[in-house]
Amino acid sequence: DLGATAFAWSCALGGMAADILAAGPAITLSHRHVFGIKADVKNNVHYAEETQIIYPAGTNTVLWLADQKQQKFFQGPEGAEGITCLAVNSTKRYLAVAERCLEGAIVTVFDLVTTKKRKTLSTTVALPECDAPEFVCVAFSSDNKFLLTQTGPSPSGKHDWTLIYWMWDKARPMNTIQVSNSQGSPVRECSFNPTDSSIVAVVGDGIFKFYQLKDGFKALPTTPPKTQSFLSHAWLSDDKMLACCENGDIMLFDNSGEFMATLGSSPGEPRSATCVLPFSKGFITGGDDGYIRVFEKSEDPKEIYRKTKTISLDSGSTTGVRGLALSPSEEVIAVTTSTAQLYQYSLLGQDLLKAEEAPHFEPVLTPFHTGAILGMDVCTRKPLVVTCGIDKSVRVWNYIEKTCELCKFFNEEAYSVAFHPSGFHLIIGFSDKLRLMNLLMEDMRTYKDIPIKACREVRFSNGGQYFAAVHATTIQVYKTYTCEPIETLRGHNQKVRSIAWTADDSMIVSTGIDGAVYEYNVLHEGKRVGQDFVLKGTSFSCVLVYTDPSTAVNTMYVVGSDRSLREVCNGQPQKKIEAGTTLGQIVLSNSAKTLFAAVAEPDAPAAVRCYKFPLDGYYNEFSCHSAPVTRIRVTFDDYFLFTCSEDGCLFIFDVRKKDRVASKRDKENVLPPADEILVTRTFLDEKQGQLLELERQVEELSNQIEFQLRHRESFHKEEMVELEEKYTQEIDQERTKYDILREERNDAEMEADENMKTLAELHAKQTQDLEASFQNKMMIEVGRYQKLAAERESVHKFWENQHRDLMERHNKTVTERKSEFEAKQQEDKRAIQRIMEEKRLAEEVHQETMKQLEQDTDREIEELKEEKELRLKAEKDDKVRLRGMSGIHKRNHEDLKRLMTKKEEELRQYQEEARKKQDRIDQLEKEKAHNLKEIQERDKQIGDKEGKIYDLKKQNQELEKFKFVLDYKIKELKAQIDPKSEAIAEMMKQIQAMDSDLEDYHRKNKQLQVNIQQLQSKQKSLQEEIISQRKRMLESQTIIKRFKNDLHECVQFIQEPKLLKESAQRLYQKYVPNGIKKQELDADIQQEYNRQRDYLEKSVESLKRKLLKDSDVHRQDNTRILQENVQLIREINDLRREIDYLKRERQQQKLNVSKLKKSSGKSASSTQASMMDPNETREVEANKTHLEELRRGIENQMSLREGYVARHSAGSDNSEA
Q: Which long-range contacts (CB under 8 A, 24 or more apart) does 53-57 make?
A: 53/325, 53/334, 53/342, 53/364, 54/86, 54/88, 54/95, 54/112, 55/336, 55/342, 56/83, 56/86, 56/97, 57/649
Q: Please, what sign has the CA dihedral across residues 875, 877, 882, 887?
A: positive
DSSP 200: E
Amino acid in the structure at residue 73 = F
Q: What is the CA radius of gyration of the chain?
A: 53
Residue-wise pLDDT tens digits, 823-871: 888 888 888 888 888 888 888 888 888 878 877 787 888 888 888 888 8
DSSP 170: G
Closest C-alpha to 167, from 189, 135, 143, 191? 143
Of 594-608, 1092-1106, 1170-1184, the one with minimum mean pLDDT is 1170-1184
Cβ atoms within 10 A of the Cβ of 635, count?
A: 19
1107 or 62, which is more confident: 62
Confidence of residue 20 (pLDDT cuts 50, 70, 90): very low
- On the question of pLDDT at 806 being above 90, the answer is no
Model pLDDT, residue 137: 95
CA pair distance 526, 528, nearest whole angstrom: 7
Confidence of residue 353 (pLDDT cuts 50, 70, 90): very low
Mean pLDDT of 268-277: 89
Model pLDDT, residue 881: 79
Residue 675: φ, ψ to 5°: -115, 15
Q: For the packed helices 1162-1216 and 1083-1159, what is the interaxial angle rounded to 10 degrees?
A: 170
Residue 400, burial from CB neighbour count under 10 angstroms (0-12, 13-18, 19+): middle
- On the question of pLDDT at 287 being above 70, the answer is yes
Mean pLDDT of 578-594: 91
- On the question of pLDDT at 197 being above 70, the answer is yes
Q: Could you give the C-alpha distances from 1196 to 652, 673, 1043, 1192, 1193, in angstroms and in order?
A: 101, 100, 81, 6, 5
- On the question of pLDDT at 1163 being above 60, the answer is no
Name the average pLDDT for the chain.
Answer: 84
Q: Residues 611, 595: contact at Cβ < 8 Å?
A: yes
Mean pLDDT of 1011-1017: 85
Confidence of residue 673 (pLDDT cuts 50, 70, 90): confident
- On the question of pLDDT at 1021 being above 80, the answer is yes
Of 373-377, 685-689, 987-991, the one with minimum mean pLDDT is 987-991
CA pair distance 702, 695, nearest whole angstrom: 11
Model pLDDT, residue 368: 94
Q: Could you give the C-alpha distances from 902 to 157, 180, 185, 897, 916, in angstroms and in order?
A: 17, 16, 19, 9, 21
Percent of the residues in the chain that have a pLDDT greater than 90, as a whole number: 35
- On the question of pLDDT at 2 being above 50, the answer is no
Of 59-68, 184-193, 658-667, the one with minimum mean pLDDT is 658-667
CA pair distance 187, 208, nearest whole angstrom: 9
Q: Residues 483, 448: contact at Cβ < 8 Å?
A: yes
Cβ atoms within 10 A of the Cβ of 1103, count?
A: 14
Mean pLDDT of 501-528: 91
Q: Beta 60-65 vs 458-460: how paired, if at all?
A: unpaired
Mean pLDDT of 475-502: 93
CA pair distance 473, 476, nearest whole angstrom: 10
Q: Beta 135-140 vs 147-151: how paired, if at all?
A: antiparallel
What is the helix (H) or strand (E) element at residue 914, kind and residue range? helix 681-1051
By three-state DSSP, how is residue 1017 classified? helix
By three-state DSSP, how is residue 651 classified? strand
CA pair distance 652, 30, nearest whole angstrom: 9
Q: For the packed helices 1162-1216 and 681-1051, what is the interaxial angle rounded to 10 degrees?
A: 60
- On the question of pLDDT at 370 being above 90, the answer is yes
By three-state DSSP, how is residue 557 classified? strand
Of 515-524, 603-612, 882-891, the one with minimum mean pLDDT is 882-891
CA pair distance 244, 230, nearest whole angstrom: 6
Residue-wise pLDDT tens digits, 204-242: 998 999 999 988 889 888 877 777 899 999 999 888 899
Cis status, amide bond into 602, omega within 30 of 0: no
Confidence of residue 1160 (pLDDT cuts 50, 70, 90): low
Model pLDDT, residue 1202: 66
By three-state DSSP, how is residue 1054 classified? coil
Of 7-16, 216-225, 319-328, 406-415, the one with minimum mean pLDDT is 7-16
Model pLDDT, residue 15: 42
CA pair distance 354, 294, nearest whole angstrom: 10
Is the pTM here over 0.75, yes or no? no
CA pair distance 39, 85, nearest whole angstrom: 10
Confidence of residue 8 (pLDDT cuts 50, 70, 90): very low
Q: Please, what sign has the CA dihedral across residues 1113, 1117, 1120, 1122?
A: negative
Q: Residues 342, 55: contact at Cβ < 8 Å?
A: yes
Closest C-alpha to 278, from 327, 323, 334, 235? 235
Q: Beta 94-99 vs 83-88: how paired, if at all?
A: antiparallel
Confidence of residue 192 (pLDDT cuts 50, 70, 90): very high
For residues 998, 1002, 1007 and 1008, what is the CA-based torsion angle, rounded to 10 degrees? Answer: 100
Model pLDDT, residue 44: 92
Residue-wise pLDDT tens digits, 296-350: 988 887 788 988 888 888 755 678 999 999 999 888 999 999 999 999 987 664 4
- The alpha carbon of residue 931 and the mean position of all alpha carbons in its chain are separated, in whole angstroms, by 49
Q: Residues 200, 193: contact at Cβ < 8 Å?
A: yes
DSSP 42: B
What is the helix (H) or strand (E) element at residue 469, kind and residue range? strand 466-471
CA pair distance 262, 252, nearest whole angstrom: 6
Q: Could you give the C-alpha distances from 933 to 864, 920, 938, in angstroms and in order?
A: 84, 20, 9
Model pLDDT, residue 1135: 83
Residue 153, burial from CB neighbour count under 10 angstroms (0-12, 13-18, 19+): middle
Model pLDDT, residue 402: 93
Residue-wise pLDDT tens digits, 618-634: 889 999 999 999 999 99
- Please state the three-class secondary structure of 391-459 as a single string: CCEEEEEECCCCEEEEEEECCCCCCEEEECCCCCEEEEECCCCEEEEEECCCCEEEEEEECCCCCCCEE
CA pair distance 360, 348, nearest whole angstrom: 12
Q: Which residues pair with 321 in a beta bridge?
A: 337
Closest C-alpha to 212, from 194, 224, 198? 198
Q: Residues 579, 565: contact at Cβ < 8 Å?
A: yes
Confidence of residue 1211 (pLDDT cuts 50, 70, 90): low
Model pLDDT, residue 360: 74
Q: Residues 476, 468: contact at Cβ < 8 Å?
A: yes
86 or 786, which is more confident: 86
Residue-wise pLDDT tens digits, 339-351: 999 999 876 644 4
Model pLDDT, residue 355: 44
Residue-wise pLDDT tens digits, 850-860: 878 877 787 88
Closest C-alpha to 434, from 420, 445, 419, 448? 448
Residue 875: CA count within 13 A, CB half-sphere: 6
Model pLDDT, residue 659: 58
Q: Please, what sign has the CA dihedral across residues 883, 888, 893, 898?
A: positive
Of 42-46, 534-538, 1069-1073, 1164-1168, the one with minimum mean pLDDT is 1164-1168
- On the question of pLDDT at 95 being above 80, the answer is yes
